[in-house]
């Protein structure tokens, strides 16, 4: 009857179910439990409490069958009503092994949540590393954790405590919360402090749960095994976690689909506690019947659990895998070898030798065979070698030399690029390599013409790197080679190559003109600016720390979210430890925390979420235009302009910014006086270089001026230094090549528009790169002026423009720039409406009476608007969010 989903009869059904719940027959009670979720789905407020009451009665039942169904009802109706569980906890634990298997899965999870909520985490479990971190308040301090672990009496355990910390933290907090938390580490109030832990040895409830779930590890239902393993993983003391290993490995033998799911979970376990799985490495050997996903997961697990003792047999296996007909898998194997070698530096030599042999073997056939897979294997093996060499370049000198030698026979462009990169990077390593350099460069210059585009670019970069650290007699040869290469590149078909060649030429014009190296040194005083700049650009890689960020996401073991690696709708992290004791207080403070964190993100520049964003935005604009008027007349008061930028550069710690700022001041000066000093063009193209290399987004003048602007406003509304960290990325709207020397670029300033909240503010900069004055520069929306040429529009954009025509004006009319002097930069604030789609906006730029079509590309991040709301509304809105990843789209499955 509950299947009839009518609101009218639901009170009747409720009465019937309530009676059935007290029926003497087990089957009737079970059916009553099954009917409850259906009733609940009707979403009638008035009967909810009655339903929960019945759930409580059914959970108290003696019969295992009823309890299983009641657990299912509980999970779908009121998963956070822990008082219901608390009443029956002991009974539920004892009955757990007899409950039917499907009910067991859900009941295990419910009990786990209850225990965490009421008693907190177990002190001896791996989750306790969380405690160490929290109490010392030093997130990244791995040392601390190790000390704490040694105190615990387990000094020999070596595992990635940072990772464990991350895993446990993400179990409890959920990913979104974790991210917002880490974004403001200082501001957060740690509500997970040490007092919330309990000891597994003294707490009876925890002990009971572990006792009852351990026989379930023998269940023949793999889902039950995994759920029970999850409980032990989180709750059991460190010494006992190994109990879950064998059952987990056993369920690998079941069907292919569940094998994949189990492997996904083991992967997380193995990353956090590799020593658990070390003795069982044989179980992860790949068999040919595995699916590709399983194979890849097995490789990853193997490379994370490999140790000194097992490495030899693992490598023998890997050698077999390399010959597998599935070349994708073979490439993965090569990558895994690289990982192993990085993990165990002692094996690095063996690995490199093996990989070199593999490369040689590949070379024998790769020129004949056109197969994609072979190229992948080759590229992957060079990547692996590269990563091994990176750890200790000096002791792999011979390997590097061998790679240089093989350059002749390697034909795959990606592989060549990497070897050429190594030429530049390790040009000063060891004794032999510097001697080889000229020969290698000669060879590269010789075959430059026939290379692919990326290889050409890399050759140019490498030559500069070599040039920078070249000494003595080589200098001359290399300089000549370099100028030869530049000449070649300048005539290249690809314009990226041409552009880079031109840029380098300007940068090095001194070195090339004065071909005597001593002279360069002597004149360093005057000309060190470009040189330092070049050093900064090309020496940067060395400073980069080799630490790779842990960007994996972790969800509760056995959950769907762990498999698909995003929080599925309805996913909930573990409840806050002991939250059911001091429930209200903890949750309240926590939600405040979250609101402020989110508010910070939304308003962008104001750290205090209660500030009215509108006023601060308009203040910013005002101050921005103040500054603009200063900036636009550098020619008149160049002293003040230079001083301004220089002092502003001083305050920044990044050397690159300092140089570029000084350079801009300099270029402005030069542009005004038409001195024709060769620095000018170099500086001009520097900006283009930045957009190529993408190294320092927005480090050029827009961000500089923006920073000033932010700082000025900071004086008024006294925000912290957060604005300095936020660097707006600038996009090019119009290239000087296409716009007769007019360059237009824009950046999204996260300010609110004063006119309508639907408008997005853009800071647009007009720069005159030509030598003539431009007049009447303005940007208009093409659609409002009907005089556009539709002929060259593609179908898709036509459709979008049709839709946008019917809407409001997309662009608020811009104040016209009457004239723009050469070298001058003007700023305008554009207010654009993007209609919430990501298609580029077609605009027309009028300049000197001519019309130039341009496309404005929206950035999805700036569609977000600050919305002031109080706590109640926030909580209410938050509860309405169905899930982070829900969006409607038609999806059809075709086989």
Using CB under 8 A as the binding rule, the residues of this chain from 38 to 97 that contact another protein are: 38, 63-65, 69, 72, 97
Q: Which stretch binds another protein (CB under 8 A): 288-296, 595-603, 685-693, 704-712?
A: 288-296
Contact 331, 382 (CB under 8 A): no
In this chain, which of 188, 242, 243, 327 binds another protein, going by CB under 8 A?
A: 327
Determine, following the binding rule CB under 8 A, whether residue 309 of this chain makes contact with another protein. no
Choose between 203 and 561: whose C-beta lies nearer to another protein: 561
Determine, following the binding rule CB under 8 A, whether residue 881 of this chain makes contact with another protein. no
In this chain, which of 155, 176, 215, 643 binds another protein, going by CB under 8 A?
A: 215
Which tokens sit at 377? 């294997």
Q: Which stretch binds another protein (CB under 8 A): 325-333, 334-342, 390-398, 455-463?
A: 325-333
Instruction: Give 801's DSSP letter.
Output: H
Residue with tokens 């919360």, as numbered in its chain: 177
User: Binding mask 238-257 vs another protein (x if CB under 8 A, - otherwise)?
Assistant: --------xx-xxx-xxxxx
Determine, following the binding rule CB under 8 A, whether residue 223 of this chain makes contact with another protein. yes
Determine, following the binding rule CB under 8 A, whether residue 220 of this chain makes contact with another protein. yes
Q: Phi and psi dihedrals of 815, rounded to 5?
A: -70, 130
Contact 491, 468 (CB under 8 A): no
Choose between 585 and 884: whose C-beta lies nearer to another protein: 884
Q: Phi and psi dihedrals of 541, rounded to 5?
A: -60, -35
Choose between 372 and 784: whose C-beta lies nearer to another protein: 372
CA atoms of 235 and 199, how far apart (whole Å)? 10
Using CB under 8 A as the binding rule, the residues of this chain from 720 to 739 that contact another protein are: none
The DSSP result for 640-658, as a single string, is HHHHHHHHHHHH---HHHH
Q: Which stretch binds another protein (CB under 8 A): 270-278, 692-700, 746-754, 886-894?
A: 886-894
Using CB under 8 A as the binding rule, the residues of this chain from 568 to 597 that contact another protein are: 568-572
Q: Phi and psi dihedrals of 578, rounded to 5?
A: 60, 20
Choose between 371 and 643: whose C-beta lies nearer to another protein: 371
CA angle 267, 271, 277 (to 5 degrees): 75
Nearest to 622, CA basis, from 867, 829, 833, 830: 829
Using CB under 8 A as the binding rule, the residues of this chain from 669 to 708 that contact another protein are: none
Using CB under 8 A as the binding rule, the residues of this chain from 339 to 398 that contact another protein are: 361, 364-365, 368-369
Contact 266, 225 (CB under 8 A): no
CB burial of 805-843 (b: ≥16 within 10 Å; e: otherwise) equals eeeeebbbebeebeebbbbbbbbbbbbbbbbeeebebbb
Contact 341, 384 (CB under 8 A): yes
Beta carbon of residue 557, minimum distance to another protein (angstroms, whole number): 10
Number of residues that bind another protein (CB under 8 A): 87
Determine, following the binding rule CB under 8 A, whether residue 26 of this chain makes contact with another protein. yes
Determine, following the binding rule CB under 8 A, whether residue 211 of this chain makes contact with another protein. no
Beta carbon of residue 895, minimum distance to another protein (angstroms, whole number): 6
Determine, following the binding rule CB under 8 A, whether residue 879 of this chain makes contact with another protein. no
CA atoms of 683 and 702, how far apart (whole Å)? 15
CA atoms of 650 and 708, how far apart (whole Å)? 12
In this chain, which of 141, 177, 205, 324 binds another protein, going by CB under 8 A?
A: 324
Choose between 100 and 397: whose C-beta lies nearer to another protein: 100
Contact 507, 527 (CB under 8 A): no
Q: Which stretch binds another protein (CB under 8 A): 392-400, 482-490, 505-513, 882-890?
A: 882-890
Q: Phi and psi dihedrals of 39, rounded to 5?
A: -60, -40
User: Binding mask 529-568 vs another protein (x if CB under 8 A, - otherwise)?
Assistant: -----------------------------xxxx-xx-xxx
Beta carbon of residue 323, minimum distance to another protein (angstroms, whole number): 5
Q: Give the up-direction half-sphere exposure of residue 417: CA atoms within 13 A in the CB hemisphere.
A: 13
CA atoms of 680 and 422, how far apart (whole Å)? 32
Contact 298, 285 (CB under 8 A): yes
Nearest to 777, CA basis, from 813, 731, 819, 738: 819
Determine, following the binding rule CB under 8 A, whether residue 160 of this chain makes contact with another protein. no
Nearest to 748, CA basis, from 733, 738, 735: 733
Contact 42, 5 (CB under 8 A): yes
Using CB under 8 A as the binding rule, the residues of this chain from 600 to 659 that contact another protein are: none
User: Binding mask 100-139 vs another protein (x if CB under 8 A, - otherwise)?
Assistant: xxx--x---x------------------------------
């Amino acid at each position: 009857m509950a299947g009839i989903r009518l609101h009218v009869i639901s009170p009747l059904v409720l009465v019937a179910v309530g009676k059935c719940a007290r029926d003497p027959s087990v089957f009737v009670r079970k059916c009553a439990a099954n009917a409850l979720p259906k009733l609940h789905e009707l979403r009638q407020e008035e009967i909810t409490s009655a339903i929960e009451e019945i759930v409580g009665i059914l959970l108290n039942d003696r019969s295992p069958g009823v309890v299983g169904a009641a657990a299912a009802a509980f999970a779908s109706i009121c998963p956070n009503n822990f008082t219901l569980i608390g009443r029956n906890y002991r009974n539920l634990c004892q009955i757990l092994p007899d409950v039917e298997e499907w009910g067991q899965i859900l009941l295990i999870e419910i009990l786990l949540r209850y225990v965490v909520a009421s008693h907190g985490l177990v002190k001896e479990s791996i989750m306790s590393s969380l405690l160490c971190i929290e109490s010392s308040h030093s997130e990244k301090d791995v040392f601390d954790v190790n000390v704490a672990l040694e105190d615990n009496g387990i000094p020999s355990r070596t595992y990635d405590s940072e990772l464990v910390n991350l895993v446990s933290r993400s179990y409890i907090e959920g990913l979104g919360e974790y991210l917002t938390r880490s974004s403001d580490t200082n501001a957060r109030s740690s509500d997970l402090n040490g007092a919330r832990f309990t000891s597994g040895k003294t707490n009876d409830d925890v002990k009971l749960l572990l006792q009852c779930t351990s026989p379930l590890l023998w269940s023949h239902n793999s889902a039950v095994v995994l759920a029970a393993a999850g409980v032990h993983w989180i709750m059991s003391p460190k010494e006992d976690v190994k109990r879950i290993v064998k059952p987990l490995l056993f369920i690998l033998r079941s069907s292919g689909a569940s094998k994949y799911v189990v492997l996904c979970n083991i992967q997380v376990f193995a990353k956090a506690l590799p020593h658990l799985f070390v003795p069982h490495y044989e179980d992860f050997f790949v068999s040919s019947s595995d699916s590709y996903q399983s194979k890849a997961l097995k490789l990853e697990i193997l490379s994370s659990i490999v140790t000194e003792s097992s490495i030899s047999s693992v490598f023998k296996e890997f050698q077999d895998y390399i010959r597998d007909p599935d070349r994708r898998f073979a490439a993965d194997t090569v990558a895994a070898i690289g990982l192993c070698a990085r993990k165990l530096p002692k094996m690095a030599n063996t690995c490199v030798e093996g990989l070199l042999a593999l490369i040689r073997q590949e070379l024998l056939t790769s020129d004949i065979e056109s197969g994609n897979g072979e190229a992948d294997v080759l590229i992957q093996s060079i990547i692996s070698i590269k990563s091994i060499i990176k750890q200790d370049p000096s002791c792999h000198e011979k390997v590097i030399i061998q790679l240089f030698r093989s350059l002749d026979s390697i034909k795959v462009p990606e592989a060549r690029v990497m070897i050429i990169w190594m030429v530049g990077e390790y040009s000063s390593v060891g004794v032999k390599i510097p001697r080889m350099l000229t020969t290698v460069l000669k060879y590269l210059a010789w075959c430059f013409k026939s290379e692919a585009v990326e290889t050409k670019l890399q050759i140019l970069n490498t030559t500069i790197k070599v040039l920078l650290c070249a000494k003595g007699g080589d200098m001359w040869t290399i300089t000549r080679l370099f100028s030869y290469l530049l000449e070649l590149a300048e005539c290249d078909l690809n314009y990226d190559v041409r552009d880079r060649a031109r840029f380098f030429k300007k940068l090095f014009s001194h070195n090339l003109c004065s071909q005597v190296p001593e002279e360069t040194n002597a004149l360093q005083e005057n000309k060190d600016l470009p040189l330092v700049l070049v050093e900064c650009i090309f020496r940067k890689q060395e400073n980069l720390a080799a630490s790779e960020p842990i960007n994996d996401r972790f969800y509760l073991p056995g959950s769907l979210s762990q498999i698909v690696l995003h929080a599925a709708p309805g996913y909930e992290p573990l409840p806050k430890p002991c939250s059911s004791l001091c429930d209200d207080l903890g949750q309240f403070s926590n939600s405040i925390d979250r609101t402020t964190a989110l508010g910070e993100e939304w308003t962008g520049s104001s750290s205090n979420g209660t500030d009215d964003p509108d006023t601060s935005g308009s203040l910013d604009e005002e101050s921005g235009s103040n500054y603009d008027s200063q900036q636009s007349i550098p020619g008149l008061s160049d002293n003040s302009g230079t001083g301004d930028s220089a002092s502003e550069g001083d305050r920044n710690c990044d050397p690159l910014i300092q140089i570029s700022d000084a350079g801009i001041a300099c270029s402005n000066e030069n542009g005004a006086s038409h001195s024709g000093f060769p620095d000018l063009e170099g500086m001009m193209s520097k900006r283009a270089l930045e957009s190529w290399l993408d190294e320092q987004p927005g480090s050029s003048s827009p961000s500089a001026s923006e920073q000033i602007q932010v700082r000025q406003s900071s004086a008024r509304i006294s925000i912290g230094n957060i604005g300095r960290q936020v660097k707006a990325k600038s996009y090019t709207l119009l290239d000087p090549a296409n716009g007769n020397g007019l360059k237009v670029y824009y950046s999204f300033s996260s300010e609110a528009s004063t006119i309508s909240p639907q408008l997005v503010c853009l800071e647009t900069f007009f720069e005159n790169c030509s030598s003539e004055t431009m007049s009447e520069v303005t940007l208009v929306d093409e659609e409002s002026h009907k005089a556009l040429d539709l002929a060259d529009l593609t179908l898709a954009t036509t459709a979008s423009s049709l839709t946008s025509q019917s809407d409001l004006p997309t662009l608020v009319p811009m104040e016209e720039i009457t004239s723009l002097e050469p070298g001058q930069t003007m700023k305008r604030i554009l207010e654009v409406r993007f209609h919430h789609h990501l298609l580029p906006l077609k605009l027309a730029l009028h300049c000197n009476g001519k019309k130039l079509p341009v496309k404005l590309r929206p950035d999805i991040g700036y569609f977000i608007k600050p919305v002031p709301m109080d706590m109640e509304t926030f909580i209410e809105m938050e509860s309405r969010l169905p899930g982070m990843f829900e969006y409607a789209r038609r999806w059809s499955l075709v086989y």
